[in-house]
Amino acid sequence: MGEPVIAQKSPYFVRLEQGKYFWCSCGESKKQPFCDGTHKIRGEFTPVPFEIGEAQDVWLCGCKRTKNQPFCDGTHKRI
């Protein structure tokens, strides 16, 4: 499997309401940090589903190399 595209070398700060979301793992979505289906072209990656229990601010990974998908773990600092 190839490496994902680095969408940006910093996390995305987003305010999310309660609900289910799909984080882009390929890095090619035009709706970063969320999936828009672009991964289907390469076929190597799948979106990462996650749920938010109550409205909150989160930092979602932009470099696509976090070990804590979909949340930023600071990996972008070493790229």
Mean pLDDT by 10 residues, the chain (79 residues): 92 98 96 93 88 98 98 96
pLDDT score for 44: 85
Asked if the structure places residue 29 within a domain, the reply is: yes
pLDDT score for 30: 96
Asked if the structure places residue 40 within a domain, the reply is: yes
Tokens 């749920």: give the residue: 51
pLDDT score for 39: 86
Q: Quote the number of domains for the chain.
A: 1
Tell me the residue range of the domain where 22 lies: 12-78
- Strands in the chain per DSSP E: 12-16, 19-23, 48-52, 56-60
The whole model's pTM is what? 0.92
In angstroms, the CA 52 to CA 77 distance is: 26
pLDDT score for 55: 98
Asked if the structure places residue 65 within a domain, the reply is: yes
